[in-house]
A = this chain, B = another copy of it.
């Protein structure tokens, strides 16, 4: 058995890390893959970071947390939802279980008879990608919502400046 957790990780925050930690603790013998969704996207407000930058963030955060045995695989979108499961099956090594809170992902994998589970979301008011992107752009507090390695990385690539420029209405 192998499990897959798919997310866009824009950016990878403490809520994501808590999910990975909980899944590894609950099923230590079951390998866990992380799939980076919308991997083709970057430099937009919804998807500011490239797949490679997200790989780097996740890799650094997992190492820091002692969870470095999870392969990370970028998954560029395909436009056709009816082929999504077949596409993911062709891009990832075999898996049996899908962890997701996205209703469409759940619907599509359940139709294909996968075990689908919803990992509990931790404190969405603080740990949600959209809110953290807002904080990055607006100058709010964000470093305490991220694994330290991610916060350092985002400073190094000057993420606040990038988010300010990508914010809808910027000019």
Binding site for B on A (CB under 8 A): 39-44, 50-53, 55-56, 59, 71-74, 76, 78-87, 89-94, 101, 103-104, 106-108, 162, 165-166, 170-171
Contacts and interface: CB of A to CB of B under 8 A. Distances in A.
A39 B73 CA distance: 12
A43 B165 contact: no
Contacts of A90: 42, 50-52, 80, 82-83
Contacts of A44: 81
Copies of this chain, how many? 6
A74 B55 CA distance: 13
Contacts of A94: 52, 56
Given A82-B86, A103-B170, A171-B103, A93 B55 contact: yes
A36 to B, nearest CB: 9
Contacts of A86: 82-83, 85-87
A21 to B, nearest CB: 20
